[in-house]
Amino acid sequence: MVNTDSYKERISISEAVLCEAQKSPERIAITYLGRKISYKTFMKKVNSISLALYSMGVKRGEVVLVALPNIPQAVYMLYSLNRIGAIPAFLSPLSAEYELEEYINKCKSEVIIALDSLYQKFMGVFKRTGVKKLVLTSVFDESGIIFKNKKDNALMWREFLKLKTDSNIYLSSPKPDDTAVILFSGGTTGKPKAVELTNLNLNALAEGTENVCGEEVRGVKMLSVLPVFHGFGLGICIHTVLYFGGECILVPRFDADKIGRIIRIHKPQYIASVPAMLSAFMKSKTLVKADFSKLRGVFSGGDSLSAEIEESFNKFLLKHKAQVKIRQGYGLTECVAASALMPAGCFKAGSVGKPYPHTLYKIVMKNTEEELPPGETGEICISGKTVMKGYFCDKEESDNTLKVHRDGKLWLHTGDMGYIDKDGFVFFKGRIKRIIVTNGYNVYPSELEKALLKHEAVKECCAVGISDKRKSQRAIMFAVIKEGIEESKEKQTELINHLRRFVSKQSMPANIYFIERIPRTQLGKVAYTELIKKAEVYRNEKNTAE
């Protein structure tokens, strides 16, 4: 088994990966659009980008927003910023203008690294936020394809790489508790929070992941399709792989048929996914004749895996000569990614597995520290090396989520309900916090509601999630229109178009229904269960009509 108290675990993430790169410089670190990038090239890129960032004036402790998909530049930025002691805050390049402005204000960022397609959005935001510097890059900048492009008030990638400085670059100290990255999560309230993850958090995740894999993972090939702005994607599919000298097969956008071709050509040994991806894989025409005999692991996280999909995908794997079955896990951004996983060669129906090494789980009565006995459902609490430092610039929410219990340990109150059986297997039952998970992405009802209420015609509104075979869940909204305004299809379209200005593509509701009033309980709280049932009825009526 792996020693999870290794020296490498206690240094910065950039030092850990560059140390691994020096051992095998000719080994492949990244495969992207058919191009192979060696660890030798990887080291040179990280060094040159660190220098360019430093020459721009990026300082130790400064938060730099990174709005990129899974392209090499995103990976370089993770380690280059860490190397000079700065902090990358990763966010979705599909974010709406309103969301970008919130993230900038929350992180007090003055430097943005973004995909060139976001240029117009950022130009609208800059006037209101005081951002000083924007670096733009494209999905082709590191593929060997050269496009001449220029934008006003922005530095293009190739110009950025030419920046130099005469001063000695300040390298990051190897303190394990230094913040290494910020990712955005729903926190315990369902409102987006900036999660501070440390060097130790990410390195401990890597060490623990190798341990639970039950085998040596050094030099493996991982299909890295889960986004870098997602804890599962960044922590498992990128950092864990590079930490052990492996190869990240980067995929910037999920397309089942294209990914099918990538799997057939590059033959990854590990695939990490969310349930919605598994359904798409099974329907992919390009995987019909795929040979999975070399596959060593398939993991599912980000949302509950239904028994139906699990059984179907295991049959799919067996049909394609795989010697493994899918392994379900559980985790959240506040502990980087996975913190529990089904042990290799083991299966227990409905369970998300057992805790990672050096990770403790307990179930407590909601809003208390009182531990419940095996089999009783309560709030899931986690303690261990991967538990976050806190929420950036949000002491109140940090204190509500991270609590020192009577045992003297720091516990993360997840806001999720579950239980642990007598054999130590963890069972996830649902979320206390209001989050809708669609295609593996967190959608925050409170943000949808806040955006829709900006429309002058809306008096009240509420967002709920309903089950969906393809996306796991879909967001549905109910709106109460002000008196004197007609309810019509044209008005529905108007409200949907309004939302698109404030909400990212993956967060958009499937529909907006008009309702006379928002149902409430006797205590005056919104009756979410009643709204979910109503949304299910409306959907079934639509399907019947079609």
Predicted TM-score of the model (pTM)? 0.85
Q: Count Cβ atoms within 10 A of the Cβ of residue 513 and give its class: 0-12 exposed, 13-18 middle, 19 or more buried.
A: middle
Residue 300's SS3 state is strand
Q: Is residue 245 part of a domain?
A: yes
CB 75 within 8 A of CB 248: yes
Q: Is residue 411 part of a domain?
A: no
Q: Measured between alpha carbons, how far is residue 451 from residues 25, 40, 69, 312, 503 in Å?
A: 49, 47, 25, 39, 7
Same domain (yes/no): 138, 276: yes
Q: Is residue 395 part of a domain?
A: no
Exposed e or buried b for every residue in 219-251, given b needs 16+ CB within 10 A? ebbbbbbbbbbbbbbbbbbbbbbbbbbbbbbbb
One-character DSSP codes across 346-408: ---TT--BEEPTTEEEEEE-TTS--BPPTT--EEEEEEETTS-SEETT-HHHHHHHEEE-TTS
Q: Is residue 416 part of a domain?
A: no
In this structure, what CATH number is given to the domain that contains residue 267? 3.40.50.12780
Q: State which of 326, 348, 369 marks the end of a domain.
A: 326
In this structure, what CATH number is given to the domain that contains residue 502? 3.30.300.30
Q: How many helices and strands in the chain, by DSSP H and E?
A: 16, 27
| Helix (H) or strand (E) run with residue 318 in it | helix 307-319
Domain count, the chain: 2
Q: State which of 326, 350, 366 marks the end of a domain.
A: 326
| Closest C-alpha among 184, 162, 268 to residue 225 | 268
pLDDT values of the chain reduced to their tens digit, one per residue, 546 residues: 344 457 788 899 999 999 999 999 999 999 999 899 999 999 999 999 999 999 999 999 999 999 999 999 999 999 999 999 999 999 999 888 888 888 998 999 999 999 998 898 888 888 788 777 999 999 999 886 666 677 888 999 999 999 977 666 767 667 899 999 999 986 545 567 899 999 999 999 999 999 998 888 899 999 999 999 999 999 999 999 999 999 999 999 888 899 999 999 999 999 999 887 888 899 899 999 899 999 999 999 877 787 888 999 999 999 999 999 999 999 999 999 999 999 988 889 889 999 999 999 999 998 899 999 999 999 999 999 999 999 999 999 999 999 999 999 999 999 998 999 999 999 998 777 678 888 888 788 888 998 999 999 999 999 999 988 778 889 999 999 999 999 999 999 999 999 999 998 888 999 999 999 999 865 567 888 899 999 999 888 765 544
Q: Count Cβ atoms within 10 A of the Cβ of residue 184 and give its class: 0-12 exposed, 13-18 middle, 19 or more buried.
A: buried
Q: Is residue 224 part of a domain?
A: yes
Q: State which of 301, 326, 351 marks the end of a domain.
A: 326
Q: Is residue 402 part of a domain?
A: no
The amino acid at 412? L
Q: Is residue 418 part of a domain?
A: no
Domain range for 158 is 7-326
The amino acid at 295? L
Tokens 């229109």 sit on residue: 481
Q: Is residue 132 part of a domain?
A: yes
Which segments within 46-201 are labelled E, that is strand?
63-67, 87-90, 111-115, 133-137, 155-156, 179-185, 193-198
Q: At 356, list the tokens.
A: 């990672």
